[in-house]
């Protein structure tokens, strides 16, 4: 978020406030200057006019007293000629406007000009507020009165002790003109002075403003701009755009130092992130990209492909047998296998479509290849073939040779889906389809696959309660003694007749029951039902009673309570334990050998027979048989099928028979479909057999008749 109260704004506002204060201070100073100028001018004027007035008064008093003394005798003797002469003298004095001489009663006698017309006219006395200057050594008492700019001075004319008249002089303000000149000069000087002051004040203010502007510019350039650039770079780093720090140009000051450290820190963070990303996106075991890397790459590829309408194929590869490798040979071997597979897949991709593929380990034994280019559908098919061949090549490992296969599902963008998620889902579905239709092959995704998945979901749903609804039943396939051709027992096989779909094969619904956790309950029902049916089977006198063989899912064994369940069912049905055989596959045993051994020992101590089903398809090898306490093995149908043609199958079958003999175990050959197979097995000393050649699975009633 961008701060509202930025340094920039703070500085700007600070500067404005500072300038305002400065202007106010300067304005105040100028005003004060103006005030003092006015005060100085007025004060000076007043002082000077006071001085002038005082001078005028002194002169007036002196003149009046001199005139009064001089005119005393002529007045006493009424010597008008002398009176006029003296008055003329006074009248001629500078600034004297009027000269008046009155008698003791205040009647006009002379006015200095000899104007006799107004002789005897009474002269009004000076107003009462007129100032009196008392008599002193220099003369008689004087009365002063200012009217307008004229001074009237009145002094008595004495003859000894008698007052014989009065002298009145009127003086003009003689110096006001020179005072005005003086005032103007003073004002001029003061004004000049003031102008100079204001000029310097303004110049000082301008200088301060100029300095502030320069300071602001420098601050912006050296502090603000680098800080803002740093802020922008930090925001870019936060969003992972590390390269943007390259635009920073650190200078040689403290901020430059900070910037340099920031750049170093960013480089360290970028390095660190690259490393973290590398670790997060790499599969530690194989060194290929992992699920995360692939998802990211797929997303970004789809983005570009959408823009320029390109194609992409996604191959989902799943190893068919890795779980068995892990179970039998241990996880370290499993890991070695995965590493070798990764190498082979890389080589295959490089050989078929160099540079057009990306390979990742998606998890466990799943690998994904992205293929881009033109005609990806055809290319993907070729690549899938190459991958299948590469995986299938025998893999020598720890003095063994493993034969592995893979199932591949392929989906194409944009034909099948638009989103990464949906593409992966499609490919996974197609892979699953490849697996269920026989493994070791590839399948393209089709819309029909969606239906297949739907069908599976529906089957899982319908399977619940199928037994209770009476949709399930058991059939029994007899097992024969190959030496005398007699039926000695039968294997119980579960059938499900779906109300809409008809017969669903056990290869389909047993898997669903296992995955959906229904197989434990279902298995127990099969066990009880098989025992119930077997109770009705009787052998001819003198021969042992027929056994019933029940298939047990690895999950039932893993559950842990198999011996208890069997024991309870035996007690409830009343079937002798010797007449029950349990068939388990190698996988069930190898998942947890210790648990299997304990369970088997317990079951065998009850008298129940434990058989290994589908023997030869696992990885346990013959030596494994020594460690697991079993009563017999059933050689898998796949070996019997090619018995007459494939010498390897014959060798293995013969070996198993010999080994079982030496360990005191029973052997059943499964899936005998021809007389040739039957005869060969009998010839090689195989004690028991089972197959369509002798009998197909029968219903309960028919089975009972076989033993009779």
609 interface partner picked from ligand C2E, Mg ion, none, CB below 5 to 8 A per type: none
Q: Which is nearer to ligand C2E, 171 or 493 (CB)?
A: 493
Closest contact distance (angstroms) between CB of 462 and ligand C2E is 17
Q: Which is nearer to ligand C2E, 433 or 690 (CB)?
A: 690
d(CA 489, CA 533): 12
Contact 391, 266 (CB under 8 A): no
Q: How far is CA 197 from CA 32, 190, 200, 214, in A?
A: 11, 10, 5, 25
Closest contact distance (angstroms) between CB of 470 and Mg ion is 24
Site for Mg ion in 3-22 (CB under 5 A): none
Q: Which is nearer to ligand C2E, 157 or 610 (CB)?
A: 610
Closest contact distance (angstroms) between CB of 704 and ligand C2E is 19
d(CA 325, CA 343): 18
Sorted by sequence, the CB contacts under 8 Å of residue 315 that are 6+ apart come out as 368, 369, 370, 371, 380, 383, 384, 387, 408, 409, 410, 427, 442
Q: Which is nearer to ligand C2E, 48 or 558 (CB)?
A: 558
Closest contact distance (angstroms) between CB of 441 and ligand C2E is 21
Closest contact distance (angstroms) between CB of 242 and ligand C2E is 59
What are the structure tokens assigned to 308, written together?
A: 């320029």
Q: Which is nearer to ligand C2E, 507 or 662 (CB)?
A: 507
Sorted by sequence, the CB contacts under 8 Å of residue 495 that are 6+ apart come out as 472, 473, 474, 475, 503, 506
Closest contact distance (angstroms) between CB of 637 and Mg ion is 6
What are the structure tokens assigned to 488, written together?
A: 């000695």
With 0-12 CB in 10 A as exposed, 13-18 as middle and 19+ as buried, what is 685? Answer: middle
671 interface partner picked from ligand C2E, Mg ion, none, CB below 5 to 8 A per type: ligand C2E
Q: Which is nearer to Mg ion, 110 or 585 (CB)?
A: 585
DSSP code, position 123: P
DSSP code, position 136: B
Q: Which is nearer to ligand C2E, 334 or 563 (CB)?
A: 563
494 interface partner picked from Mg ion, ligand C2E, none, CB below 5 to 8 A per type: ligand C2E
Closest contact distance (angstroms) between CB of 458 and Mg ion is 27
Give me the residues that bind ligand C2E (CB under 6 A), please: 477, 493-494, 505-507, 510, 523, 526, 551-553, 583, 613-614, 670-673, 690-692, 697
**CB closest to Mg ion, residue no:** 583
Geometric angle at alpha carbon 129, from 124 and 134, rounded to 5°: 95
Sorted by sequence, the CB contacts under 8 Å of residue 606 that are 6+ apart come out as 563, 566, 567, 570, 577
CB atoms within 10 A of CB 599: 26
What are the structure tokens assigned to 426, written together?
A: 């499609």
Closest contact distance (angstroms) between CB of 336 and Mg ion is 30
In what helix (H) or strand (E) does residue 325 lie, and over which residues does it extend? helix 322-329
3 interface partner picked from Mg ion, ligand C2E, none, CB below 5 to 8 A per type: none
Sorted by sequence, the CB contacts under 8 Å of residue 567 that are 6+ apart come out as 606
| Nearest-10 Cα torsion for 31, 34, 39, 41 | 180
286 interface partner picked from ligand C2E, Mg ion, none, CB below 5 to 8 A per type: none
Site for Mg ion in 516-555 (CB under 5 A): 551
What are the structure tokens assigned to 278, written together?
A: 């590398």
673 interface partner picked from Mg ion, ligand C2E, none, CB below 5 to 8 A per type: ligand C2E
DSSP code, position 577: G
692 interface partner picked from Mg ion, ligand C2E, none, CB below 5 to 8 A per type: ligand C2E
- Strand residue runs (E) in 422-471: 442-444
Contact 63, 91 (CB under 8 A): no
Q: Which is nearer to ligand C2E, 283 or 491 (CB)?
A: 491
Site for Mg ion in 576-615 (CB under 5 A): 583, 613-614
477 interface partner picked from ligand C2E, Mg ion, none, CB below 5 to 8 A per type: ligand C2E
Closest contact distance (angstroms) between CB of 612 and Mg ion is 10
Closest contact distance (angstroms) between CB of 618 and ligand C2E is 13
d(CA 526, CA 495): 10
Closest contact distance (angstroms) between CB of 648 and ligand C2E is 20
- 3-class SS of residue 337: helix
Site for Mg ion in 624-683 (CB under 5 A): 670
553 interface partner picked from Mg ion, ligand C2E, none, CB below 5 to 8 A per type: ligand C2E
Q: Which is nearer to ligand C2E, 452 or 673 (CB)?
A: 673
Q: Which residues of the shown chain bind Mg ion in the complex (CB under 5 A)?
A: 551, 583, 613-614, 670
């Amino acid at each position: 978020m961008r701060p509202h109260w930025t340094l920039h704004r703070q500085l700007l506002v600070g500067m404005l406030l500072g300038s305002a204060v400065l202007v106010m201070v300067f304005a105040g100073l100028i005003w004060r200057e103006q005030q003092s100028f006015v005060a100085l001018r007025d004060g000076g004027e007043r002082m000077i006019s006071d001085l002038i007035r005082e001078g005028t008064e002194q002169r007036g008093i002196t003149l009046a007293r001199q005139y009064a003394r001089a005119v005393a005798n002529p007045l006493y003797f009424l010597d008008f000629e002398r009176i006029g002469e003296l008055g003329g003298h006074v009248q001629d004095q500078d600034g004297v406007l009027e000269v008046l001489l009155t008698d003791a009663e205040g009647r006009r006698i002379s006015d200095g000009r000899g104007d006799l017309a107004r002789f005897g006219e009474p002269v009004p006395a000076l107003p009462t507020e007129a100032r009196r200057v008392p008599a002193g050594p220099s003369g008689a008492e004087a009365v002063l009165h200012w009217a307008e700019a004229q001074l009237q001075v009145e002094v008595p004319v004495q003859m000894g002790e008698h007052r014989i008249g009065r002298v009145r002089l009127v003086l003009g303000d003689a110096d006001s003109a020179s005072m005005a000149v003086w005032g103007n000069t003073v004002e001029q000087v003061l004004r000049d002075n003031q102008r100079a002051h204001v000029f310097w004040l303004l110049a000082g203010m301008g200088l301060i403003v100029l300095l502030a502007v320069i300071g602001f510019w420098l601050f912006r350039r050296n502090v603000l701009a680098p800080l803002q650039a740093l802020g922008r770079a930090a925001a870019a780093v936060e969003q992972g755009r590390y390269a943007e720090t390259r635009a920073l140009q650190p200078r040689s000051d403290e901020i430059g130092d900070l910037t340099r450290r920031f750049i170093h820190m960013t480089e360290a963070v970028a390095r660190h992130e690259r490393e973290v990303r590398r670790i997060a996106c790499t599969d530690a075991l194989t060194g290929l990209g992992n699920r995360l890397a692939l998802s990211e790459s797929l997303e970004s590829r789809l983005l570009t492909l959408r823009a320029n309408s390109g194609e992409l194929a996604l191959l989902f590869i799943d190893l068919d047998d890795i779980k068995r490798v892990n179970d039998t040979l241990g996880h370290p071997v499993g890991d070695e296998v995965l590493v070798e597979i990764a190498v082979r897949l890389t080589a295959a991709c490089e050989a078929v479509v160099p540079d057009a593929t990306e390979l990742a380990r998606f998890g466990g034994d799943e690998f994904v290849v992205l293929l881009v280019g033109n005609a990806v559908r055809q290319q993907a098919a070729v690549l899938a073939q190459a991958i299948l061949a590469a995986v299938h090549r025998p893999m020598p490992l720890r003095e063994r040779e493993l034969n592995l296969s893979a199932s591949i599902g392929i989906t194409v963008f944009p034909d099948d889906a638009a989103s990464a998620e949906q593409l992966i889902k499609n490919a996974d579905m197609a892979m699953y389809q490849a697996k269920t239709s026989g493994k070791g092959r590839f399948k393209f995704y089709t819309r029909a696959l969606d239906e297949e998945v739907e069908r599976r979901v529906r089957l899982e749903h319908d399977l619940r309660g199928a037994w209770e609804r009476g949709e399930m039943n058991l059939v029994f396939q007899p097992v024969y003694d190959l030496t005398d051709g007699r039926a000695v027992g039968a294997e119980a096989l579960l059938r499900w007749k779906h109300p809409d779909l008809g017969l669903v094969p056990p290869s389909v619904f047993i898997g669903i029951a296992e995955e959906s956790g229904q197989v434990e309950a279902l298995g127990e029902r099969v066990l009880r039902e098989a025992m119930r049916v077997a109770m009705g089977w009787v052998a001819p006198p003198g021969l042992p009673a027929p056994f019933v063989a029940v298939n047990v899912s690895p999950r039932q064994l893993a559950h842990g309570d198999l011996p208890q369940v069997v024991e309870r069912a035996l007690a409830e049905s009343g079937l002798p334990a010797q007449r029950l055989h349990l068939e388990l596959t190698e996988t069930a045993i190898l998942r947890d050998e210790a648990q299997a051994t304990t369970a088997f020992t317990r079951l065998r101590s009850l008298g129940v027979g434990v058989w290994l089903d589908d023997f030869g398809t696992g990885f346990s090898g013959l030596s494994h048989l020594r460690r697991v306490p079993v009563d017999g093995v059933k050689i898998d149908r796949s070996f019997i099928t090619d018995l007459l043609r494939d010498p390897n199958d014959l060798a293995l079958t013969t070996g198993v028979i010999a080994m079982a003999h030496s360990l005191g175990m029973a052997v059943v050959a499964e899936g005998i479909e021809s007389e040739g197979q039957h005869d060969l097995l009998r010839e090689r000393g195989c004690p028991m057999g089972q197959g369509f050649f002798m009998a197909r699975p029968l219903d309960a009633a028919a089975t009972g008749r076989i033993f009779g």
